[in-house]
C-alpha cells in the first residue's frame, strides 16, 4: 500500500505547478501565494493533529524556534520567487531549475554542515546541473551559447525588442534561480530546526511563518485590493494547488511510515516527469530533443542521489 502513497505523493506534487500556473494567468503571483499558503497551513496542522505531535510544542527551545522561523522565511521567499517565475516562464523550464535546489543543498551541506561529498553525489550534481542547463537552453538557436552567438543575440534583441520587454522575458530565470537557492536554504535551516522536534510539527510552524511573510508582502506592496479582483476560476485553481501540495505531503509521510525512504524519496522527486507530462497536455509545451535529454539527465541524477 505504501507504494501507492509514494506514487500519490509524486502525482500531487507534479500537478501543483500546473494548477498554480492556471491560477496566476491574471492574478498577481504574490496574492496567489498568500491565498495558497492558507490552504497549505490548514493541511500542515491537519497532519500534526493526525500524527498527534502537537504535544511537542511545549518542548521547543529558543534555538530550534529561531531556525524554524529562519527556515520559514526562506520557504516564503522560495515560494514567492517560484510563483513569479511560473507567471512569467514556461513550466518546463521553471520546474527543472527549482528542482536543482538539490544541487545547492548538497553544496551548502558540505560547507555549513560538513557533510561529505562522495563520487556518487558529485556525479548526481553534474547530471542534474547538465540536465537543467539543457532544458533551460533548449529553445535557444544553435551557437547562441558561444561568445559570438551571445553578442549576436543581444544585437538582434536590441533591434527587435524594447528594454522593458527584454527584462520581462528574462525575469523568470532570475526568480527561478532564486527559488532554488532559497529552497536549499530552507533544507539546511530546517535540518537544524527540526533536530529536537517532529518534522510534521516543524513544517506546521514553518508554514505559519510563510503565511505571515506572504501576506506582509501583499500589504507592503499595496496589492491587498487585488484579492477582490481574483476571478473565481483562478481562485479555484489557486486553492486546488494548495490542496495538491497538502495531499502530496500527506501521501509522502504516509509512504515513509510504511516503506523504505530509499525508495519513497526518489519516487517523490520524480514528480518532475508528471509536471512535464501535464504541461504538454494543458499548456502544449513540447519537449525538444535537447529538453528530453535534459529530463533524462535530471532523472538519472535524482535516482543516483537516492540510491547511493
On the question of pLDDT at 156 being above 70, the answer is no
Residue 302 to residue 77: CA distance in whole angstroms: 24
Mean pLDDT in residue range 236-252 = 91
Band (147; pLDDT cuts 50, 70, 90): very low
Q: How many domains does the chain have?
A: 1
16: CB partners within 8 A, 6+ apart: 241, 244, 245, 248
pLDDT digits (tens, 9 = 90+) for 84-127: 999 988 898 899 898 888 888 888 888 877 777 888 888 988 99
Higher-confidence position of 39 and 142? 39
Q: Which domain holds residue 180?
A: 2-307
Look at residue 165 in the predicted model and tell me its pLDDT: 47
Amino acid at each position: 500500500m505504501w507504494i501507492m502513497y509514494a506514487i500519490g505523493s509524486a502525482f500531487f506534487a507534479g500537478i501543483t505547478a500546473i494548477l498554480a500556473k492556471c491560477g496566476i494567468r491574471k492574478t498577481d503571483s504574490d496574492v496567489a501565494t498568500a491565498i495558497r499558503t492558507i490552504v497549505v497551513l490548514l493541511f500542515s496542522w491537519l497532519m500534526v493533529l493526525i500524527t498527534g505531535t502537537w504535544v511537542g510544542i511545549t518542548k521547543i527551545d529558543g534555538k530550534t524556534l529561531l531556525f524554524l522561523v529562519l527556515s520559514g522565511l526562506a520557504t516564503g521567499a522560495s515560494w514567492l520567487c517560484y510563483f513569479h517565475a511560473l507567471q512569467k516562464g514556461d513550466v518546463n523550464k521553471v520546474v527543472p531549475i527549482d528542482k536543482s535546489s538539490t544541487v545547492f543543498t548538497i553544496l551548502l551541506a558540505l560547507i555549513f554542515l560538513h557533510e561529505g561529498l562522495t563520487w556518487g553525489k558529485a556525479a548526481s550534481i553534474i547530471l542534474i546541473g547538465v540536465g537543467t542547463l539543457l532544458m533551460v537552453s533548449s529553445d535557444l538557436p544553435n551557437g547562441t551559447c558561444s561568445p559570438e552567438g551571445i553578442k549576436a543575440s543581444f544585437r538582434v534583441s536590441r533591434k527587435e525588442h524594447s528594454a522593458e520587454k527584454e527584462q520581462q522575458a528574462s525575469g523568470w530565470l532570475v526568480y527561478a534561480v532564486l527559488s532554488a537557492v532559497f529552497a536549499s536554504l530552507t533544507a539546511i535551516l530546517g535540518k537544524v530546526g527540526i533536530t529536537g522536534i517532529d518534522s510534521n510539527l516543524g513544517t506546521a510552524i514553518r508554514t505559519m511563518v510563510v503565511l505571515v511573510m506572504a501576506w506582509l508582502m501583499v500589504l507592503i506592496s499595496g496589492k491587498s485590493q487585488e484579492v477582490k479582483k481574483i476571478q473565481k476560476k483562478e481562485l479555484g485553481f489557486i486553492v486546488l494547488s494548495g490542496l495538491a501540495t497538502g495531499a502530496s505531503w500527506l501521501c509522502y509521510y504516509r509512504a515513509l511510515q510504511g516503506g523504505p525512504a530509499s525508495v519513497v524519496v526518489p519516487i517523490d522527486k520524480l514528480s518532475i516527469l508528471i509536471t512535464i507530462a501535464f504541461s504538454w497536455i494543458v499548456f502544449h509545451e513540447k519537449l525538444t530533443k535537447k529538453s528530453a535529454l535534459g529530463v533524462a539527465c535530471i532523472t538519472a541524477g535524482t535516482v543516483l542521489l537516492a540510491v547511493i
